[in-house]
Amino acid sequence: MKSSKTGSMFKKVAVLGIVLTLALIINTAAVQAHEDFKSFYLRVIGRDMMLDGSITFTSTTNGAILISVNGLPRSISVHSGDEVEIFFEEAETGSLRIYTNGMILAEAMSFKKIKINGVLVAEEGVIIELVNIVLDMGTICSALKITVPDASSGYTYFKFNDEELVDGISDDEIIVIKLTASEERELIIDFLAKILGSPGAYGLAATAYVNGEEVPELGLPGILGVSTIALATVLLYGKRRVFLRNR
């Protein structure tokens, strides 16, 4: 009888081990799936904000990029399947929007250069409008970065990965890195204050820094980790009760 109880206990321990292993696999997969981008929301009043970096994507439609260089308007043709690269350097005007359906819009957005299929087609100008360009969301490669320098003080609201980090009058330096969009969340960069009510941005980003300190990662992976521990605790407690009852 004692041997039967011991064997039953070992079976239960083995089942516990399998459950914990599966939980660990799920947790690891969740970390890998969510390690790249987190949601963010940024608004400023009376403070400088600038955009640097580049965004690359493949267009799924025929359209055009209307630009102005040295005050002269131009139209750059974009065809379905073309790879488009737009570079920014300390841009502080206009707006850029990427919606969840792949539509990309821009208004009065200053740019450093534009490439189509790797070929330089324009430098140092302003994007007046993006006409009928819908991108393939799976092809977005972003090196976009927004910086709110500490040289100015004013109202600041900054939330990253669902955690409010700054809310009020502040001169904190904020840097948000690798801004992008997905099929679940759009990207808005709004210097014109037409969309957010004041200059700001929201969407997804790889990471962020406040006064040089990287924002700690929270969210789903951590929640799953806590859930794993809770599951293990419950199961171990249950096994202990069974073991004591069978002694």
Residues 127-168 have pLDDT tens digits of 999 999 999 999 999 999 999 999 888 999 999 999 999 999
Does 106 lie in the same domain as 49? yes
Token pair recorded at residue 127: 């994007």
Domain that holds residue 122: 38-214
How many domains are contained in the chain?
A: 2
Does 52 lie in the same domain as 23? no
Does 44 lie in the same domain as 27? no
Does 119 lie in the same domain as 207? yes
If we measure between CA atoms, which residue out of 66, 60, 98 comes closest to residue 79? 60
> Which residue in the block uniquely carries the two structure tokens 């359906």?
101
* pLDDT at residue 30, as a whole number: 43
Along the 247 residues of the chain, how does pLDDT read in single tens digits?
A: 555 555 554 455 444 444 444 444 444 444 434 448 999 999 999 999 999 999 999 999 999 999 999 999 999 999 999 999 999 999 999 999 999 999 999 999 999 999 999 999 999 999 999 999 999 999 999 999 999 999 888 999 999 999 999 999 999 999 999 999 999 999 999 999 999 999 999 999 999 999 999 998 644 444 444 444 444 444 444 544 544 455 5
Write the DSSP symbol of residue 134. Answer: B
Does 74 lie in the same domain as 50? yes
Does 186 lie in the same domain as 160? yes
Does 237 lie in the same domain as 171? no
Give the whole-angstrom CA distance, residue 57 versus residue 138: 8
* pLDDT at residue 152, as a whole number: 80
Does 229 lie in the same domain as 206? no
Does 169 lie in the same domain as 193? yes
What does pTM read for this prediction? Answer: 0.74
Does 20 lie in the same domain as 100? no
Does 61 lie in the same domain as 16? no
Does 193 lie in the same domain as 85? yes
> Which residue in the block uniquely carries the two structure tokens 């009888």?
1
Amino acid at 129: E
